[in-house]
Amino acid sequence: MAALVPEFTHLHVHSEYSMLDGLSRVPEMVAQAKDHGMSALALTDHGALYGLVEFYEAAHAAGIKPILGVETYVAPRKITDKEAADRTAAHLTLLAKDAAGYHNLLELITKAHLDGFYYKPRIDHDLLAEHREGLIALSGCPSGEVAWALRQEDYETAKRAAEFHRQVFGRENYYLEIQSHGLDFQPVITEGVLRLSKVLDLDVVCTNDSLYTHKE
């Protein structure tokens, strides 16, 4: 008897709409997921929602559940702060779990472009708190607030960041994200994330920062 393979869903995926970063075209991405027997797939492009309609339609046509999301840029201070110290923004993965969440994604990304743009379209903690309904948050890639602090061996800052997001989204809608791409700093992040998950009673989700559909 063949061994049962646990189902995996990609929750951190970049298409060609992640400018200068993603290479995947939506039809190829959806077809690959279907070929691998996946029942669902997320799209989380950098700071933009340009591909969501195309992705939604392609996924439905292929019989795959589309999970609509975005990898946001979170300003270190307020979106109105636009000085040299504000050029670096943390990453945060947001997924819509219902219609309210989708509308809040639209609100966040619209404000990020119109009000918060400084090198990148940015949101901030206040906007997250205001538009949290219907959203699931993942702590992000190595450039997320939690992971970046752990890379700097600053556990307390990572803990404060995780506590803030847990307070905003609630335990049931906030997950600590871990990835493994063979990068030398990732074991440190994973170790810290697993420690935080126990201390703060948070669940962990495994993702792959997918930037292309085929290895070639």
Write out pLDDT tens, residues 89-141.
Answer: 999 999 999 999 999 999 999 999 999 999 999 999 999 999 999 999 999 99
Instruction: Please report, for the chain, how many H helices and E strands are present, in that order.
Output: 7, 7
Task: Tell me which fold the domain 72-206 belongs to.
Answer: TIM Barrel (3.20.20)
The model's pTM is 0.94
Write out pLDDT tens, residues 13-32.
Answer: 999 999 888 999 999 999 99
Work out the end-to-end distance of the chain between its first and last CA atoms, rounded to an integer number of angstroms: 33
Residue 140 burial (CB count, 10 A)? 28
Helix segments in 22-154, DSSP class H: 26-35, 52-61, 99-114, 125-130, 145-151
- Angle 167-158-199 from CA coordinates, rounded to 5°: 65
